[in-house]
Each structure stands twice: as C-alpha cells, then as structure tokens.
Amino acid sequence: MATVVDLNALGFQYPNSESWIVRDLSFSVAAGEFLSMVGGSGVGKSTILRLVAGLLEAQTGSLEVTGKSAEGRRRRGLVFQDGRLMPWRDVAHNVRLGLEGLNLSTDIVNQRIDEVLNLTGLSDFKDRWPHQLSGGQVQRVGIARALAVQPDILLMDEPFSAVDTITRQSLQQELVRIWQASGAAVLFITHDIEEAAYLSDRVIVLKGQPAEIVHERPIEIERPRQRNSEELFRLAADIATYL
Amino acid sequence: MTRYKFKYFTDNFVTTRRVILGITGIVAFLILWKSAESFEWFRRGTMPDPLKVPGALMDEWGSGRLIPAIESSLIHYLWGLGLGTILGFFVGAFAATIRWFDDFHIYLARLLRPIPPLAWVVFAIAWFQVSHAGAAFVISIGVFWVNYFATYSAVKNVDPRYYELAQAFGQGSYLIRSLKVTLPASSPGILAGVRTGVGQAWMTLIAAELLGVPGMGQEMNSAAGVGAYEAVVVYMLAISAVYALTDMIFSFIEHQILQWRP
Ligand SMILES: Nc1ncnc2c1ncn2[C@@H]1O[C@H](COP(=O)(O)OP(=O)(O)O)[C@@H](O)[C@H]1O
Ligand SMILES: [Mg+2]
C-alpha cells in the first residue's frame, strides 16, 4: 500500500539537551489514512509532528515524505493547537499563506481559497479579521489554510483541545467529512483517547522516554460512526490501559 | 432598553461636561494670564497681553513673516523627520534580526544614544553652517533614536510562533519572513515610535532654529529681542496648531494601517 510518510529508526534530541525524545521510532502513514497518536503530556507528540512537518531535523534515522509530485502543492499541511492565524490578515489572506510562492495564477489561488472556505463552511467569513472569529471558526480557518495547499497529509497537533465540548464534537464530525472529501491522509495528535477512537482508522500509543510505540490498534468500526456506541467506549477504555 | 437610554444619557452628559469644563479651563488660564500682565507679576514689559495676541497674529500674517516661517520650519521638520525615521527603522530592524549586526552595533548605540540631539548643534553649525541642512540634521538625530529603539524592541518581541507558522507554509526565507511576519507583527510598535518621533521632532525643531536658521524658532527669538512678546505667543500657538495637524494626519494613517487590530 502506498505511504505518504515513512519514519525509519528516527532519533531526535533537542539541541543542548541530553535526553532523546525518540530514539528508534518507526511508523508510516498510508495514503488517505486517518492515523491518531495518543500519549501523555510531554511524551513527545508535538516534537514528532514537527519532525514530520520538517520544522525540526532528526539526528539519526530517516524520514521520507513520499507521495505525488508536488507541482503547485505542498506535501504537508500543518494545523496548530492554538489556531495561529496571522491577526493582520483577514480570513481569505490567512488561507492564502501557503499558496504564496507556488507560482499559481491569481485565478487559481482565488479558486482554491473559495474551495477550501466552502469545504470548511467559512464562505461568509472571508473578509473577517481573526479577532472577529470564535475559537471553533479559528480552528476551521487553520484547517482550510492547511487544505489549500492540497497536501498528501494533514498534520494536526491537538487542534480541538482549546475549544468547548460542543464545538469540539461538531468540529470532529466536520473533520471526518473534510478528510473524506479531500482524500488527504491525516496524522492527528490528541490526548483524548475517545476522540482518537472516534476519528481514526488506526491509533498508536506513545509512552516512555525516549518515546516508543507501545500499542497499535486498527479501528475497524464502520463509518459513519456512532459517537456514543458501546463498541467505541470499550475500545477507548482498552487503549487507555496501555497509557 | 432603559439601560441603553441611560447609557446614552450618561455619554451625553460626559461629553457636555467635558466641553463646558474644558472651555472654563481655558478661560481661567486667560484670566490668570491677564492678571499677571495687569498687576505686573513679572518685570514690566516682559508679560504679553493676551488681548493683544489676535492683533499680533494679524501683524505677523500681514507682514509676510508668519507663513514663510511656518514653511521653512516644515522643510526642516519633514527632512529631519523623514531621514531620522527611515534610518532609525532600518538600523533597528537589522539590529533586531541579524545577529552579527546586533553584536556589532550594540556598544556603539549605548555610547551615542544618551547624547541629547541639541548637543550635536555644535557640529551642525561646523559642518552645515547656519542652514536648513543643519537644522534637519539636528532634528533627525532625536528622531533616529526614537525610531531605532521602537523598531528594535518591536521586532525583538515578535512572537516566534509566527515564524514557525511561516516556515511550515513555505515562507521561511529572510526576506519573505521579514515582509510577511516581522513587518506586520511589529507594525504597532514601529508606528508608536514614528508617532513619538513626530512629536519629538517638533521639540528639537524650535530649539535648533533658535540658533538662527530661518523658521518659527528664529522668528520667536527675534520678536523677543525687540520685546514683541505677543508675537512670540503667536509663534507658540502656530507651533501648537501645526503639531496638532501633523499628529492628526499621522493618527489617521496609523488607523488605516492597523485596521486589523481589535
Ligand atoms: N524547544 C524545546 N527545547 C527543549 N526541549 C523541548 C522543547 N520543546 C519541547 N521540549 C521537551 O520535549 C519533551 C516533549 O515535548 P512535546 O513534544 O511538546 O510533548 P507533547 O506534545 O507530547 O506534550 C518535553 O519534555 C519537553 O519539555
Ligand atoms: Mg504537544
């Protein structure tokens, strides 16, 4: 099966730090797959995501981002926990960020922006400043911005942990819809196991220092999924025992 | 609804009170001033008569001194302000973003910065004689430091998370990052510096002109020399008016640029 990201025996430590965050980490993400990574706070989830995003460089091992040729696209689209919109850009221009420098015509750029704003239900908010948005809308702009570059994989670092429960549930539902519509793979970080079980095709559990994959669990529940199903609860409870 | 009406009422009251008390303040000041003049609190002939100021204004205007003096001052002002702002901005921005340049300039900046702009008047006269260039030079020094420091600290304080964002979306090169993150993120601080410079330039302007470069400062000096203190007041009020105007223009521009702020 085609993969979009391959980590092989990856080792990383922060400069001027003795300890390894990961020492011998290997996993891959299949094309179109929704993979969640769970683990306690400080185990190294964000670091791994930054490695995959290319924001940090591993000292040992290899990390390959494969996938289709990237003309007019970027292979990875990153979504931040804090939303991280540029307050000096309106919604449309925030979404535009990753498209700048890709040599796309203005028409194509605008078309892409409209497309992703439509997909994330933000068409009416195009001209808003970030400070005029709710927390949930900010996260949706963050997702739209990542999707605009038509990535092979969306990298999401606890994107819903800062919003209220009701908003979180509707964002989760929307994410599944967006993921299915876009065809991109997702590498999703969360400390919420139920969230991981509800969303994912596969969940990996990280633990220890350096962090290791202590458990890997395919979630074969059919979609659309029932949020409060017995099966999901049991699964989540079982995964929790590995934490 | 009632609440709204009440708020409307109080807002109105607050504005009315401000206007009434504000005017009263000015009138009280004029009375105090007039008494000081009538009862000769200071040496006879050194206290201008407020009632003669409008007449003096007509004189200065009619004699063709006022407008050329304002024009000349504005030339010094705009050159000094422009040069000082641009240089202060670039030196501050480079120092805050380029490590070696930061190290290279830091002792020099600490050495030169405490020197008051007017201390440079000696060299302004030596190098430029009594000229427009000399006045602009002195003004630009004060403005330079204000903008240098505002830009330096605004740029240093840009949230590094925005740089990470730019890098994640392929906007990581120095130039691109500077234009897309550094500049907009630090613009509120930079503009606050520019605005301080707009005021600071006026302060040094008059002092620099007191040395004899044509302009409002010089006119004040020569009016005082012949005991025409009402004319001095006219120039003081002209300074106040032109400053209020430039500050208004600047605050309009600032508002346009910083629309995105809550
Ligand atoms: N920039 C950094 N420099 C040094 N250590 C860091 C840095 N960022 C994170 N760490 C450390 O790396 C470990 C993993 O952090 P992180 O990846 O953020 O964990 P998680 O996202 O799982 O909570 C933590 O012990 C944290 O203190
Ligand atoms: Mg984290």
CB atoms A97 and B260 under 8 Å: no
pLDDT of residue B5: 62
CB atoms B261 and A131 under 8 Å: yes
Chain A residues at the B interface, defined by Cβ less than 8 Å, are 53-55, 74, 76, 78, 80, 82, 84, 86-90, 97-98, 100-102, 129-131, 145, 149
Give the pLDDT band (50/70/90) at residue B1: very low
CA dist A81 and A93 (Å) reads 20
Delimit the domains of chain B by residue range: 1-47, 50-257
Please give the DSSP secondary-structure letter assigned to residue A226.
P
Which residues on B lie below 8 Å from A54 (Cβ)?
168
Give the pLDDT mean for B155-183. Answer: 97
Give the pLDDT band (50/70/90) at residue B168: very high
CA dist B184 and B191 (Å) reads 11
pLDDT of residue A31: 95
Mean pLDDT for all residues in chain B: 92
Q: Is the pLDDT of residue B121 over 90?
A: no
Of A141-145, B6-10, B12-16, B134-138, minimum mean pLDDT range: B6-10
Q: Is the pLDDT of residue B118 over 90?
A: no
Query: Is A43's C-beta closer than 6 angstroms to any atom of ligand 1?
Result: yes
CB atoms A100 and B181 under 8 Å: no
CB atoms A82 and B185 under 8 Å: no
Contacting B residues, span 135-194, partner chain A, CB-CB under 8 Å: 161-162, 164-171, 176, 180-181, 184-185, 187
* Atom 5 of ligand 1: nearest residue by CA position: A14
Contact status, residue B218 vs residue B209, Cβ threshold 8 Å: yes
Q: Does B248 touch chain A (CB under 8 A)?
A: no
Tell which residue, B160, B171, B168, B166, has the closest CA to residue A52.
B168
CB atoms A101 and B260 under 8 Å: no
Q: Is the pLDDT of residue B262 over 90?
A: no
Query: Is A98's C-beta closer than 6 angstroms to any atom of ligand 1?
Result: no
Give the pLDDT band (50/70/90) at residue B231: very high
Q: Is the pLDDT of residue B2 over 60?
A: no
pLDDT of residue B7: 67
CA dist A212 and B55 (Å) reads 88
- Looking at chain B, the whole-number percentage of residues with pLDDT higher than 70 is 97
Q: Does B262 touch chain A (CB under 8 A)?
A: yes
* Atom 18 of ligand 1: nearest residue by CA position: A46
Give the pLDDT band (50/70/90) at residue A228: confident
C-alpha separations of B194 from A173, B76, B87, B148, B261 in Å: 48, 17, 12, 10, 18
Query: Is A14's C-beta closer than 6 angstroms to any atom of ligand 1?
Result: yes
Record the tokens describing residue A195, joined without a space: 């969230």
Give the pLDDT band (50/70/90) at residue B44: confident
Distance A157 CA to ligand 2 centre (A): 7
pLDDT digits over A119-165, tens only? 999 999 999 999 999 999 999 999 999 999 999 999 999 999 989 99
Class level of CATH domain B50-257: mainly alpha
* Interface probe, candidates B165, B187, B256, chain A, greatest A C-beta count within 10 A: B165
Query: Is A45's C-beta closer than 6 angstroms to any atom of ligand 1?
Result: yes
pLDDT digits over B174-216, tens only? 999 999 999 999 999 999 999 999 998 988 888 888 777 889 9
Of A27-31, A169-173, B12-16, minimum mean pLDDT range: B12-16
CA dist B235 and B219 (Å) reads 8
Give the pLDDT mean for A192-207. Answer: 96
pLDDT of residue B88: 98
Q: What is the pTM of this model?
A: 0.89
The minimal CB distance from B170 to the residues A80, A89, A101 is found for: A101
Query: Is A209's C-beta closer than 6 angstroms to any atom of ligand 1?
Result: no
Q: Is the pLDDT of residue B6 over 70?
A: no
State the smallest CA–CA distance between residue B180 and chain A in angstroms: 9
pLDDT digits over A46-73, tens only? 999 999 999 999 999 999 998 766 788 8
Give the pLDDT band (50/70/90) at residue A169: very high
pLDDT of residue B148: 97
Give the pLDDT band (50/70/90) at residue B162: very high
Half-sphere exposure of B28 (CA within 13 A, CB side): 6
Q: What chain A residue is nearest to B165 in terms of C-alpha separation? A: A84
* Atom 26 of ligand 1: nearest residue by CA position: A42
Contact status, residue B150 vs residue B84, Cβ threshold 8 Å: no
